[in-house]
Structure 1
Amino acid sequence: MEAELRSNTSTPISVQSPGLLGTALRGCLGSLDGACIEKLLLHCASALESNDVTLAQQVMWVLNNVASALGDPNQRLTSWFLRALISRASRVYPTSMNFNTGNALQRRLMSITELVAYVDLIPWHRFGFCASNSAIFRIIEGYSKVHILDFSITYCMQWPTLVDVLGKRPEGPPSLRITVPSVRPPVPPFLNVSSEEVGLRLANFARSRDVLFELRMIEADSPSSVKNSYCNSLLSKLNILDLDLMDDEALVINCQNWIRYLPEEHKDAFLNIIKGLNPRIIIIVDEDCDLNSSSSLAARITNGFNYLWIPFDSLETFLPKESSQRIEYEADIGYKIENIIGFEGSQRIERLECGIKLSQRMNNIGFSSVAFGEESVKEVKELLDEHASGWGMKQDNDMLVLTWKGHNSVYATAWVPNGYED
């Protein structure tokens, strides 16, 4: 297990194991490293699924003595997994759980300046921005009009860099239209300004770079309305007429941490629709972990725990334990953990699939992968040089993968429909 590699944490167990807890602690006596914490989390989940409230409480009690929101990375990660398990249990056994996990999650609205700092903290988002922008710049060479359909969760933070580069294009900048959905998945980060304000700021920046710019909206129902109506509404608007597509513009479709939020029954439908728009290129970037709709609770705990330690561990390298910036960033990961572990069915909106499975899905639908060029690889490497030495990049066939200490974290892929004709 990857958790066994993270054994720098050695938390003494200062309790006498109750009878029912003996199995859960077998092999972990003396200390709790990442592998033992994972084992306890799995025992707790198993107890909850088998309605063994007593054992679940006992395991939670041990985890509660290990977890610390201000401890080392394993302890901080454990505190969020424990919170998620308690949240799950409290909905089934509302009077049985009595643990103090702090105040309820309250997400703060960020200013644009704070969002910039958030995105720059670790290369989790910037890796995808950099790889995508470089591939887009190459594919639109020679076009005087560019239209990007942007499906992302970071409020167009990707585009100032591309606008800046387009403004310096030797043959002159193209006109640029970016179309975004009017609503986004209800996940962090949250911004305190409207999409219209974001568009206005982007337009002002583009004007300073002599780039003719327009931000358009795809009007769709709110995700909080009737189940799946948001996706149905969005998919119905992805057509040539509603999108105002033009034959003389290069169409680019950009999906950054987006497809995971589509219900399983809508993922293939979305991809088939955008394939029919005949884009010049489709970029898909997401986190390289398997937490899809069919994953069992045990699989989600194992995969999530062995994956989400990456941002916790990377933040440890340069931010103090009490850093408010670090605590807020980790809270956003905690928001994700609570959804992954605490909810089922339509309430669970985090449905990640790893890069390999995404590639299989794309091939089955009728897409061909496109390799990132040498210039893209160079730019990503230069970006990573700005961050801690633990960050790296590897190439897996046509996929670029961001790594932390050798472990996959985020993948970037580029695609065209089979038989694409320019």
Structure 2
Amino acid sequence: HHHHYQQAVVVDHLYKAAELVQTGNSILAHEILARLNHHLSPVGRPFHRAAFHCKEALQQLLRNGDAPHPPPPSPFGLVFKVGAYKLFSEISPVVQFANFTANQAVLEAVDGFDAIHIVDFDIGYGVQWASLMQEIGLRGGSSTPSVKITAFISPGTHDQLELGLIRENLIHFASEVNIPFEFQAIGIDSLGSSGPWLLPESKAEDEGVAVNLPFGSLPSSMPSILSFLKRLSPRIVVSVETGCDRTDLSFADHVVHVLQSHSDLLESLDAVNLHMNNDALQKIERFLLKPAIERAVAARFRSPDKAQQHWKSLLLSCGFSPVMFSSLTESQAECVVKRSPVRGFRVEKSQSSLLLCWQKKELLSVSAWRC
């Protein structure tokens, strides 16, 4: 009982601090965050660790204003991040659930095209597309389609070093499975200026376009992205959302939501980690989850209209409609989750989305759309 009371106090403090950060009252915000320091540490229960990272994210906003200044890139930092990502995808079903489900939907949508063009607003480390190309390579057939990836990059998420590495890895992988491949990265800011590089006029007849777009995490660029997608008319738009991608919440509610969803995720990792070494979990938390929490908080702070409609209503009002996943996609998702050594993960369906849940709490949802 005491434990729940403590959680309520922490949530209350974080909420107040977030409101103060948003209104620019940095002195009072600092005071509340300092009080939180007594309650929180980066070790301990999942809830407290997630709250600690949220507190750090708010402190970062106070220090830097709304520009998250990433530390200068170092090749070592990148090695650690990619290493943590690999560990995460090995010990938790989260990454594989997302990648397999999205890839299967993309493969079905672009089946039969000679050229596949993937437009990605969330390239991450590009790992997902390596497994997509592997699938295409395994299918064989008379002619292998070519694959082109256009990655739209948000400011501050990837530096040139990372993009270079992602690109090299994918080129290397494509050549191993004999797929003609090209990769280009474009700043997301250039979307508004409708450059000549991607207008549908230049789209080949036999090119199947698929889009990967996490709707909830790009609130400020959404209108220009959606009008761009209407012109592009892709075969499918796939969206992977973590529990914290709610575009319809105020900034303070959003921070609490980020806390809750990462607390659930950490809880599921702790359970998986009983079978593992603790070192793996610390790496995942430090190099993946902490930066993800900081990004989620900062992106929302920068978004001009703080509370918008929910991204699903926005999509529907722009003329997009949901696509049902095939039974093959569903059974593949089930398979991925059953392979986890830990009981407690479940795949659930909600309208046309597939959800990955941990102890009945939603960790991730995948949905597909067409316009």
User: Does the pair score TM above 0.5?
Assistant: yes
For 1:259 and 1:137, how far apart are their aligned partners in 2? 24
For 2:185 and 2:53, how far apart are their aligned partners in 1? 35
Q: What is the identity, as a one-letter code, of the residue corresponding to 1:252?
A: A
Q: Does 1:215 align with 2:195?
A: no
> CA shift at 1:215, angstroms?
1.8
Q: Does 1:68 align with 2:41?
A: yes
> CA shift at 1:405, angstroms?
1.5
Equivalent residue number for residue 320 of structure 2: 367
Equivalent residue number for residue 239 of structure 2: 284
Q: Does 1:269 align with 2:237?
A: no
Gap change, CA 1:141 and 1:400, over 3 Å in 2 = same
Assess if the C-alpha contact under 8 Å between 1:394 and 1:401 holds in 2: yes
> CA shift at 1:392, angstroms?
1.8
Gap change, CA 1:131 and 1:343, over 3 Å in 2 = closer
Gap change, CA 1:362 and 1:235, over 3 Å in 2 = farther
> Counterpart of 1:411 in 2: which secondary structure?
strand
> Counterpart of 1:372 in 2: which secondary structure?
coil
For 2:299 and 2:205, how far apart are their aligned partners in 1? 44
From 300, 304, 311, the counterpart of 2:265: 311
Gap change, CA 1:164 and 1:68, over 3 Å in 2 = same
Q: What is the identity, as a one-letter code, of the residue corresponding to 1:37?
A: V
Q: What is the identity, as a one-letter code, of the residue corresponding to 2:360?
A: G
Q: Does 1:206 align with 2:174?
A: yes
> Counterpart of 2:121 in 1: which secondary structure?
strand
**Which of 1 and 2 has higher RCO (CA within 8 Å, sep 6+)?**
2
Q: What is the identity, as a one-letter code, of the residue corresponding to 1:147?
A: H
Equivalent residue number for residue 57 of structure 2: 84
Assess if the C-alpha contact under 8 Å between 1:110 and 1:192 holds in 2: no
> CA shift at 1:345, angstroms?
5.2
> CA shift at 1:313, angstroms?
1.2
> CA shift at 1:219, angstroms?
4.0
- For residues 125-173 of structure 1, give each alpha carbon's deviation from its aligned partner in whole angstroms, at most 9, with x where no partner exists: 3322111111122223333332222322313211222222222226345
For 1:247 and 1:45, how far apart are their aligned partners in 2? 49
For 1:325 and 1:123, how far apart are their aligned partners in 2? 15
Structure 2: 5+ residue stretches without partners:
none
Equivalent residue number for residue 42 of structure 1: 15
Q: Does 1:143 align with 2:143?
A: no
Gap change, CA 1:274 and 1:378, over 3 Å in 2 = same
Equivalent residue number for residue 162 of structure 1: 132
Moved over 6 A (4+): 104-107
> CA shift at 1:370, angstroms?
1.0
For 1:402 and 1:372, how far apart are their aligned partners in 2? 14
For 2:44 and 2:328, how far apart are their aligned partners in 1? 41
- For residues 194-219 of structure 1, give each alpha carbon's deviation from its aligned partner in whole angstroms, at most 9, with x where no partner exists: 5455344334433433x422123154
- Identity over the aligned pairs, expressed in percent? 18
Matches within 5 A, 1:116-195: 116-169=86-139, 171-172=141-142, 174-181=144-151, 183-187=153-157, 194-195=162-163
> Counterpart of 1:143 in 2: which secondary structure?
coil
Equivalent residue number for residue 282 of structure 2: 327
Q: Cα RMSD between the aligned structures?
A: 3.8
Number of positions where the alignment pairs a residue of Structure 1 with one of Structure 2:
359
Equivalent residue number for residue 299 of structure 1: 253
Gap change, CA 1:193 and 1:323, over 3 Å in 2 = farther
> Counterpart of 2:127 in 1: which secondary structure?
coil
Assess if the C-alpha contact under 8 Å between 2:121 and 2:152 holds in 1: no
> CA shift at 1:364, angstroms?
0.9
For 1:328 and 1:113, how far apart are their aligned partners in 2? 8
From 178, 200, 213, the counterpart of 1:240: 200
Q: What is the identity, as a one-letter code, of the residue corresponding to 2:365?
A: Y
Gap change, CA 1:240 and 1:89, over 3 Å in 2 = closer
For 1:136 and 1:340, how far apart are their aligned partners in 2? 26
> CA shift at 1:268, angstroms?
2.5
Assess if the C-alpha contact under 8 Å between 1:150 and 1:180 holds in 2: yes
Gap change, CA 1:385 and 1:231, over 3 Å in 2 = same
> Counterpart of 2:78 in 1: which secondary structure?
coil
> Counterpart of 1:10 in 2: which secondary structure?
helix
> Counterpart of 1:132 in 2: which secondary structure?
helix
For 1:149 and 1:55, how far apart are their aligned partners in 2? 40
Task: Please state which structure has a larger fraction of its residues in helix.
Answer: 2
Q: Does 1:357 align with 2:320?
A: no
Q: Which has the larger radius of gyration?
A: 1
For 1:301 and 1:150, how far apart are their aligned partners in 2? 26
Q: What is the identity, as a one-letter code, of the residue corresponding to 2:349?
A: Q
Structure 1: 5+ residue stretches without partners:
1-6, 12-27, 93-103, 224-228, 418-422
> Counterpart of 1:142 in 2: which secondary structure?
coil
> CA shift at 1:192, angstroms?
8.9
Q: Does 1:414 align with 2:371?
A: no
Gap change, CA 1:361 and 1:297, over 3 Å in 2 = closer
Gap change, CA 1:197 and 1:247, over 3 Å in 2 = same
Gap change, CA 1:236 and 1:304, over 3 Å in 2 = farther
Q: Does 1:110 align with 2:98?
A: no
Q: What is the identity, as a one-letter code, of the residue corresponding to 2:129?
A: W
Assess if the C-alpha contact under 8 Å between 2:15 and 2:253 holds in 1: no
For 1:395 and 1:379, how far apart are their aligned partners in 2? 14
